[in-house]
Structure 1
Amino acid sequence: MSITLLANPSCSSTAEENDWISLFNGKDFDDWTVKFHHHDVGDNYAETFRVVDGNLQVNYDGYQKFENRYGHLFYNQPYGSYHFSLEYRFTDQWMEDAPDYTYRNSGIMFHSQDPKTILKEQDWPISVEFQLLAGLGDGKPRPTGNMCSPGTEVIFEGKMDPRHCIDSSSDTFEWDQWVKADLIVFGDSLVIHLINGDTVLRYTHPQIGGGVANNYDTAIKEDGKMLQEGFIAIQAEGQGIEFREIKIKILE
């Protein structure tokens, strides 16, 4: 890792790296694995994850009630050091029996446990979350590109931060606006969040610890274990959203 890259992480061309690899072909998600709370691995309940007009969509038109069916769609290959990128926008779907905080809220999980190790009644994977939010229409700031930590912890501004979520410095975006989100990860050292090309959050040393995740296999949750790699997943927690241009670049 070069000093130049640390000084300006968005200039990833300064590091030795491979070309961009598309993780979504606009037709199917055969290279991905679904896991929903209350359901077995591979059960895409009510076709929540689907492809619509070439975009990967979280869609709730097949639901009567949400009933805490927190879901995640995992890419089948783990990664350690990389630049991950996608574009997202929310839809006008929201399950009213979902918790209030899920409104115009989604996320990208990374350094996650393998979906095959997630128990049927486990709600969230042990992972780090690049949280995606949109404004609530009340004129109040609601940044996107935040960090949340289900079953994990990070070092922020030089110390372990006890908060479950750490806000970024991003602007607030309308729910139906396409937003570009980039995640730069250097194993278990540095993590950088970018929104529309601007660096909005940095933290270090992602590791297992803390709370929030529930009903996991206790053998998986090794508190203090540094997270050098893991799976990437797209979240579904009651709010409709769609994604496009999902790709990754491996960082040497």
Structure 2
Amino acid sequence: MRRALPLLLVALAGCASAHGAARATTDPDAREWIQLFNGRDLKDWDIKFAKHDLGDNFNDTFRVEDGLLKVRYDKWTAFNGEFGHIFYKKPFSYYLVAAEYRFVGDQVTGAGPSLAWAKRNNGIMIHGQSAESMGKDQDFPMSLEVQLLGGLSDGKPRSTGNLCTPGTNVHFGEKLITAHCTNSRSKTYDGDQWVRVEALVLGDSVIKHIVMGDTVLEYRKPEMGGGSANNMKPGVKIDGTPITGGSISLQAETAPIDFRKVELLNLEGCMDAKASNYKRYYVKADPAACRYGGGARP
């Protein structure tokens, strides 16, 4: 049977954070958000572009300016399938991740009609493979994509917080879904407005997409499988393998975009109420993380 989400997690989902970097506290209810993007530089991230070596920030596409993490194409003169991703240095399994973004400007020069789908298109890739495990020519990491879409100001609906599944499949209830993308029920966000999208991720059980505080999509039991992650190294994807955790990355998918916040609330930690770093919102125990009187458990 599927277990119900703890009431505290229901309250957490969709709550915008006003916190800065995580800080030590003895308050079991104080939410300690980790600022994945520190507002200054990209030192905690790894960059991988298709057709390029790990660490090559091709055409200075990912950059930090004015306190924003930006994806820009002003130094590109053509596009030949060099999809890019920027990976946070640490994997997670149980967490609430959030990004605040806005689309700006025009699609990369040379994208062409075949890439019309990529206009104002980005994504938060969760439960992904590591940057190091990607093939040099691989286009997208095996992952679950919380798809970020901007409206095209044409009067047509274009939801955000959708699901796409490069190299993966998921279940809706007990049914295995193999379609590459599934739309959410979010509204359309036209123009250059800021939008907050979150994903509540509980290992390989429940995953929720949340847009501006509203849950717009829910699924469970992600596993390896499917296509749309091309030129992978042999042996990395073993179809049917459950996915319980992995990397978090952001895309460079031909559309200029700004991120003013990328943050994460880790839901795995010390669940011993006697410890100084106990948190009531944790749902997955990590006994090794417990601290007692300023030190770790013996």
Q: Which structure's CA Rg is the greater one?
A: 2
Q: Does 1:139 align with 2:139?
A: no
Decide which moves more: 77-86 or 149-158: 149-158
User: What residue identity is the alignment partner of 2:259?
Assistant: F
- Is 1:37 paired with 2:53? no
Which structure 2 residues correspond to residues 1-252 of structure 1 after superposition, within 5 A?
3=4, 5=6, 9-11=10-12, 19-98=32-111, 99-251=115-267, 252=282
For the aligned residues, what is the CA RMSD? 2.0
Residues 82 and 16 (structure 1), Cα distance of their counterparts in 2 relative to 1, 3 Å cut:
farther
TM-score (norm 2): 0.80
User: For structure 1, which runs of at least 5 residues remain unmatched after alignment?
Assistant: none
Q: CA deviation at 1:69?
A: 0.9
In structure 1, what is the Cα distance between the partners aligned to 2:6 and 2:214? 15
Deviations 1:87-135 (A, max 9, x none): 0000113114331110011101011111001111111111110000011
Residues 177, 18 of structure 1: CA spacing in aligned structure 2 closer, same or farther, 3 A cutoff?
A: closer
Percent of matched pairs sharing the same residue: 44
Q: What amino acid sits opposite 1:42 in the alignment?
A: G
Aligned residues: 251
Distance 1:4 1:201 in 2: 15
Which structure ranks higher in relative contact order (CA pairs < 8 Å, sequence separation ≥ 6)? 1
What are the Cα deviations for residues 180-220 of structure 1, in whole angstroms up to 9, with x where unaligned?
01111000111000000110000001111001111101210
TM-score by length of 1: 0.94
Q: What's the CA shift for 1:18?
A: 5.6
Unpaired segments of 5 or more residues in structure 2?
16-27, 268-281, 283-298
Q: Work out the CA distance in 1 between the residues paired with 2:7 and 2:239.
A: 28
Query: Which has a greater percent of strand?
Result: 1
Following superposition, which runs of at least 4 residues in structure 1 exceed 2 angstroms of deviation? 1-13, 15-18
- Distance in structure 2 (CA, Å) of the matches to 1:180 and 1:193: 11
Q: CA deviation at 1:53?
A: 0.7
